[in-house]
C-alpha cells in the first residue's frame, strides 16, 4: 500500500499540476468562472419564475391568482433571462478571449474584444421568422404570389410562411447552444491574435506617443488580420454550403452539429458519468482538489448541459423538452452531499458509530462546514488523504450515488436539473431547488444520503476495531516493558 | 507594520474559515495583521497586496504558478493536518515565520 501511494504521488499528482498549469485549459476554466455572475443572475430569473409561476400552477396548489399578482416579476425575469442565459455564448466569447490574451501576456481587453467580434463575424446575419396559417386555403393565389415575389417562402400544403430578414442575430447561436462555437472561435482567433501581437507584425510608434495611442496602433495589424481571417472562414463555409447543401452554412451550425451535440450526447452515458465522478475522488484522495482539476470538463461539457436545460426551461417550462438529463447540477444535487466523497455521510456515521475521540472532534468541527459542502476539514483533518481505511468508501460511494441518481433521472422518476445553484447549497434542499422544486429530487437526495451513511458506517466501525487493536497492542508493549 | 497574509484555495471558501481563526489568534497575541482569503482565479491581483501567501494543500499543484504570481514574496503550502483541523494558531505561526526579517 505504501509503495502504491508513493508511486501515485510521483506519477498521478503531477497530472494535476500539468492540467493546472496548461494555460488553455486554465483559461477555459477561468472564463467559465468569470461568467458565473451572469449564469447566476439567469438562474435566479428561472428560480423566481419557478416559484411564482410553475409551482403555483401545480395541481396540489393551483393558485393562479399568485401567478397573476406576480406578472411584473415574470416580465422582469424574462428581461434578465434575455441578457444572461439567452446570450450566454456571446458573453462567454468575451470572457474566453480575455482569459486567453491574459494567459499569453497580451492586453486582455483587446483579446476579449477580438474574440467577441470574431464570434459575431462567423454568426449568420439573417434570421428567419415563420407564420402558420390556420386555414391555408383562404389565402388567394394572388396573395401567395405577392409574398413569394417579395422574398417570402410559402408552403401552401403545410400552411406556413417563412421570411428571412437581414440584420438579425438568431438567439439560437448566442445561447448555451452556441457555447462550443464561442469557445472554439475564441480560442483559435485569440491565440492567433496573441501570437501576432508578440511577433514583429505590429506597428511600433516612437516613445513620445502616449501609451494608449501606441497600444491601439500595436493591435492594428494583428486585429485586422485575425478578423479578416474570421470573415474569410465565414465566406468559405457559405460557399461550401451553396455547393453542397449537406454542409452546414455557418460555423455555428457546423460546430453544433459535429462537435457540441455529439460531445454532449456522449456525456450523458453512464460510463462517462462514473469516470468523471471517480477521477474527482481519486484526485481528492491524494489531497488534490479534484473538482478544480476536472473543471474544464465539468464546465465545458456538463455546465453547458445545465445552461441548455435552463434555457429550454425558460422558454417551455416542460421537463419532457429538456435537452439533457445529466448536468453539473446533478452531481451537486445527488452525489456531492457535503462536498466531494459525500462526506456528510461520513460525518453522520462518525457521530453514530465512532468510538474514536479524534474522529468525533474533527467531525464536530467539520459538520457546520459540511452542511455547506465544504469538506476540507474531513479530507485533511481526519484525514482521508492517503488513509487506507477510507480509500474504498471514498472512491466508491460517489460513483454508487451517481449510478442511482443517473438511473432515477434517466427513467424519469426524478426530473433533470434546471437551476444552477452556488455549490455551497446544502444537501437535499439543493436538489429540491435545482430541479425546480420537485419533491422526488429531495427524496432521492435523502435516499442517497442514507446509502452513504450506511456504507461509511461499515468503515467507521472497522476503524473502531483497528483503534482497539492498536490500543491492546500498545498495552501489551507497556506491560512487557514494566514486567 | 501591518502584516498582510493572503490565503488562496480553489473557491476561497474553506480558507475563509481558517482566516477567522487566524485573525483571532493574531488578535490574542496583539499582532497587527490583515488576513484574507481569495479563490485561485483572483489570486494574481490579491498577491500584489500580500506580504506572504499561503495556499491550501488541495491546490498544492499550483505552487509554482503561485510563486510566479507572487513576484518574489514568500509562498508556501499550508500543512495538511493544520488545514484540516483549521488550526489558526499554527498556520499563523507558519505565516509569520515566512515573513522577511524586516517585517517580523
**CATH number of the domain bearing residue B82:** 3.40.50.2300
pLDDT in tens, chain B (104 residues): 789 999 998 887 888 889 999 999 999 999 999 999 999 888 888 999 999 999 999 888 888 888 988 888 999 999 988 998 899 999 999 999 998 876 66
Domain that holds residue B8: 3-99
Domain assignment of residue B50, yes or no: yes
- Tell if the CB–CB gap between A365 and B14 is shorter than 8 Å: no
Decide which of A138, A168, A198 is a domain's last residue: A168
Hey, of A22, A289, A294, A338, which one would you mutate to test binding to chain B, going by the most B CBs within 10 A of its CB? A289
pLDDT at site A441: 96
Instruction: Report the predicted TM-score, pTM, of the whole model to 2 decimal places.
Output: 0.83
Which three cell numbers, joined as nine digits, stand for A17? Answer: 499540476
Cβ atoms of A111 and A227 closer than 8 Å: no
**Chain B closest-CA separation from residue A19 CA (Å):** 9
- Tell if the CB–CB gap between A377 and B56 is shorter than 8 Å: no
Cβ atoms of A222 and A107 closer than 8 Å: no
Rounded distance between C-alpha atoms, residue B5 and residue A259, angstroms: 45
Rounded distance between C-alpha atoms, residue B54 and residue B14, angstroms: 13
Domain assignment of residue A371, yes or no: yes
Domain assignment of residue B104, yes or no: no
**Chain B closest-CA separation from residue A223 CA (Å):** 27
B interface with A, Cβ–Cβ below 8 Å: 9-11, 13-14, 17, 39-41, 56-62, 64-65, 80-81, 83-86
- Chain B residues near residue A284 by CB distance under 8 angstroms: 58
pLDDT at site A247: 83
Which three cell numbers, joined as nine digits, stand for A191? Answer: 491565440
pLDDT at site B104: 60
pLDDT at site A412: 93
Report residues of chain A scoring pLDDT below 70: 1, 59, 482-483
Hey, of A9, A286, A287, A340, which one would you mutate to test binding to chain B, going by the most B CBs within 10 A of its CB? A287
Domain that holds residue A276: 268-482
Beta strand pairing status for A153-155 and A160-166? antiparallel
Collapsing DSSP to helix, strand or coil, B78 comes out as coil
The answer for A151, left when phi > 0, alpha when psi is -120 to 50, beta otherwise, is left
Q: Which of B9, B25, B38, B78 is catalytic?
A: B9
Split into its structural domains, chain A has a count of: 2
DSSP state of A53: I
**Chain B closest-CA separation from residue A427 CA (Å):** 17
pLDDT at site A332: 93
Which three cell numbers, joined as nine digits, stand for A415? Answer: 426530473
Rounded distance between C-alpha atoms, residue A233 and residue A242, angstroms: 14
Domain assignment of residue B40, yes or no: yes
Decide which of A108, A134, A168 is a domain's last residue: A168
Split into its structural domains, chain B has a count of: 1
CA distances from A466 to A5, A472, A474, A475 (A): 21, 10, 12, 14
- Tell if the CB–CB gap between A20 and B59 is shorter than 8 Å: yes
Among residues A295, A325, A287, which one has the least CA distance to residue A402?
A: A325
Q: Nearest CB to B13: which of A34, A374, A379? A: A374
Please report which helix (H) or strand (E) contains residue A164, including its range.
strand A160-166
Domain assignment of residue B76, yes or no: yes
Domain assignment of residue A332, yes or no: yes
pLDDT at site B103: 67
Q: Are A144 and A291 contained in the same domain?
A: no
pLDDT tens track for A421-476:
888 889 999 999 999 999 999 999 999 999 999 999 999 999 888 878 877 777 77
Collapsing DSSP to helix, strand or coil, A154 comes out as strand
Residue with cell 399568485: A66
Q: Nearest CB to A20: which of B56, B61, B81? A: B61
- Tell if the CB–CB gap between A383 and B57 is shorter than 8 Å: no
pLDDT tens track for A297-320:
888 899 999 999 999 998 888 898
Domain assignment of residue A50, yes or no: no
- In B1-104, beta strands by DSSP E: 3-9, 33-39, 52-55, 75-77
Q: Nearest CB to B85: which of A13, A381, A424? A: A381
Decide which of A118, A149, A168 is a domain's last residue: A168
Q: Are A153 and A276 contained in the same domain?
A: no
**Chain B closest-CA separation from residue A144 CA (Å):** 59
Q: Are A306 and A439 contained in the same domain?
A: yes
- Tell if the CB–CB gap between B80 and A380 is shorter than 8 Å: yes
**Reported ipTM:** 0.81
A interface with B, Cβ–Cβ below 8 Å: 13-14, 16-17, 20-21, 30, 33-34, 284, 287-289, 291-293, 362, 365, 369, 372, 374, 376-383, 385, 423-424
Q: Nearest CB to A288: which of B13, B61, B64? A: B61
Q: Check if B9 is active-site.
A: yes
Torsion sign over Cα A405, A407, A409, A413: negative
Q: Nearest CB to A376: which of B41, B58, B60? A: B58
Amino acid at each position: 500500500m505504501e509503495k502504491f501511494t508513493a508511486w501515485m504521488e510521483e506519477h498521478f499528482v503531477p497530472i494535476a499540476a500539468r492540467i493546472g498549469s496548461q494555460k488553455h485549459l486554465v483559461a477555459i476554466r477561468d472564463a467559465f468562472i468569470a461568467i458565473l455572475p451572469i449564469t447566476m443572475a439567469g438562474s435566479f430569473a428561472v428560480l423566481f419564475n419557478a416559484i411564482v409561476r410553475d409551482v403555483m400552477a401545480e395541481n396540489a396548489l393551483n393558485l393562479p391568482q399568485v401567478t397573476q399578482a406576480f406578472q411584473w416579476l415574470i416580465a422582469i425575469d424574462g428581461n434578465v433571462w434575455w441578457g444572461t442565459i439567452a446570450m450566454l455564448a456571446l458573453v462567454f466569447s468575451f470572457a474566453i478571449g480575455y482569459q486567453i490574451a491574459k494567459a499569453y501576456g497580451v492586453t486582455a481587453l483587446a483579446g476579449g474584444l477580438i474574440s467577441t467580434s470574431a464570434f459575431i463575424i462567423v454568426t449568420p446575419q439573417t434570421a428567419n421568422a415563420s407564420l402558420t396559417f390556420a386555414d391555408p386555403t383562404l389565402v388567394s393565389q394572388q396573395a401567395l404570389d405577392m409574398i413569394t415575389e417579395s422574398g417570402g417562402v410559402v408552403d401552401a400544403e403545410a400552411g406556413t410562411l417563412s421570411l428571412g430578414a437581414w440584420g438579425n442575430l438568431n438567439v439560437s447561436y448566442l445561447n448555451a447552444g452556441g457555447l462550443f462555437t464561442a469557445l472554439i472561435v475564441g480560442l483559435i482567433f485569440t491565440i492567433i491574435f496573441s501570437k501576432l501581437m508578440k511577433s514583429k507584425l505590429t506597428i511600433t510608434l516612437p516613445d513620445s506617443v502616449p501609451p494608449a495611442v501606441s497600444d491601439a496602433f500595436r493591435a492594428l495589424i494583428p486585429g485586422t488580420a485575425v478578423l479578416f481571417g474570421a470573415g474569410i472562414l465565414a465566406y468559405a463555409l457559405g460557399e461550401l454550403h451553396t455547393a453542397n447543401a449537406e454542409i452546414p452554412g455557418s460555423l455555428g451550425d457546423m460546430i453544433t452539429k459535429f462537435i457540441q451535440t455529439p460531445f454532449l450526447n456522449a456525456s450523458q452515458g453512464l460510463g462517462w458519468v462514473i469516470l468523471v465522478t471517480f477521477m474527482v475522488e481519486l484526485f481528492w484522495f491524494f489531497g488534490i482538489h479534484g473538482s478544480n482539476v476536472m473543471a474544464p470538463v465539468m464546465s465545458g461539457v456538463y455546465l453547458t448541459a445545465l445552461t441548455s436545460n435552463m434555457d429550454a426551461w425558460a422558454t417551455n417550462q416542460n421537463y419532457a423538452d429538456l435537452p439533457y438529463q445529466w448536468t453539473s447540477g446533478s452531481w451537486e444535487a445527488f452525489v456531492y452531499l457535503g462536498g466531494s466523497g459525500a462526506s456528510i455521510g461520513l460525518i453522520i456515521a462518525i457521530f453514530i458509530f465512532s468510538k474514536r475521540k479524534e474522529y468525533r472532534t474533527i467531525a464536530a468541527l467539520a459538520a457546520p462546514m459540511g452542511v455547506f459542502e465544504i469538506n476540507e476539514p474531513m479530507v485533511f483533518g481526519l484525514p482521508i488523504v492517503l488513509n487506507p481505511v477510507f480509500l474504498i468508501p471514498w472512491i466508491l460511494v460517489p460513483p454508487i450515488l451517481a449510478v442511482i441518481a443517473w438511473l432515477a433521472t434517466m427513467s424519469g422518476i426524478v426530473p433533470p436539473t434546471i437551476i444552477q445553484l452556488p455549490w455551497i447549497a446544502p444537501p437535499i434542499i439543493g436538489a429540491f431547488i435545482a430541479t425546480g422544486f420537485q419533491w422526488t429530487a429531495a427524496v432521492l437526495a435523502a435516499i442517497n444520503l442514507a446509502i452513504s451513511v450506511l456504507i461509511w458506517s461499515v468503515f467507521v466501525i472497522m476503524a473502531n476495531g483497528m483503534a482497539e487493536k492498536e490500543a491492546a497492542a500498545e498495552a501489551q508493549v507497556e506491560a512487557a516493558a514494566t514486567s | 507594520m501591518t502584516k498582510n497574509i493572503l490565503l488562496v484555495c480553489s473557491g476561497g471558501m474553506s480558507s475563509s474559515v481558517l482566516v477567522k481563526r487566524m485573525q483571532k489568534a493574531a488578535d490574542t497575541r496583539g499582532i497587527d495583521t490583515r488576513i484574507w482569503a481569495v479563490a485561485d482565479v483572483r489570486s494574481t491581483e490579491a498577491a500584489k497586496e500580500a506580504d506572504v501567501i499561503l495556499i491550501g494543500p488541495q491546490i498544492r499543484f499550483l505552487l509554482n504558478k503561485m510563486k510566479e504570481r507572487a513576484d518574489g514574496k514568500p509562498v508556501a503550502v499550508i500543512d495538511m493536518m493544520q488545514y484540516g483541523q483549521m488550526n489558526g494558531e499554527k498556520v499563523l505561526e507558519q505565516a509569520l515565520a515566512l515573513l522577511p526579517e524586516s517585517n517580523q
